[in-house]
Amino acid sequence: MYKRQRSYIDDGVDTMVEALRSEDYSTFYMVNNEYGTPRSAAFIEALNDFGKYIGDQQQATIDQAEANFNRAMVAVGIAVGLALLLMVFCRILFGRLVVRPLVEAGQHFDKIAAGDLTSRVEVRSHNEIGQLMAAVKRMQESLTRTVATVRRGVDEITVGSREIAAGNTDLSSRCLLYTSDAADEGLGV
């Protein structure tokens, strides 16, 4: 394109401008018809070719941008899908490792608070949840021992109070017997 433009300027335009300066109109028309018009047409054709080249390059750039945008949208879609899968996986994992054992610990606390010390507390891990479950187990065992000690004490008190009641009954019946005997003796019966 540059060669066609240079040839149009050098052979056509410059020569025609010189002819017009010198007021040589016949040279102007001759140069215009012989060199200017054909070289002008060649230059215009070169400009059209260049415009087509620019248009093709723009279209190629637009096509590449659309392809890049589509790839980016696919990548974003995949990333969002993976993020959702990761979120579901973390929720399930968190539920199994943390929430379920905490719910289980809460159920054990409720049973203990209701007086049921018979349910078995299992320690399945050594993490913080496992330590909590071990503490619940120790508390349950300690409460079981305390309740057993209190029951033994109550049983001993019950036996002692029965023995006292039996002794009182025996003493009372002997007192009645002695009182009755004394009354009979006092009356001379």
Residue numbers in the chain where pLDDT is lower than 50: none
Per-residue pLDDT, 186: 63
pTM over 0.75: no
Give the chain's length: 189
Q: How far apart are the first and last CA of the chain?
A: 163
Question: Could you read off the pLDDT of 97-135 as tens digits, one per residue?
Answer: 888 888 988 898 898 888 888 888 888 888 888 888 899
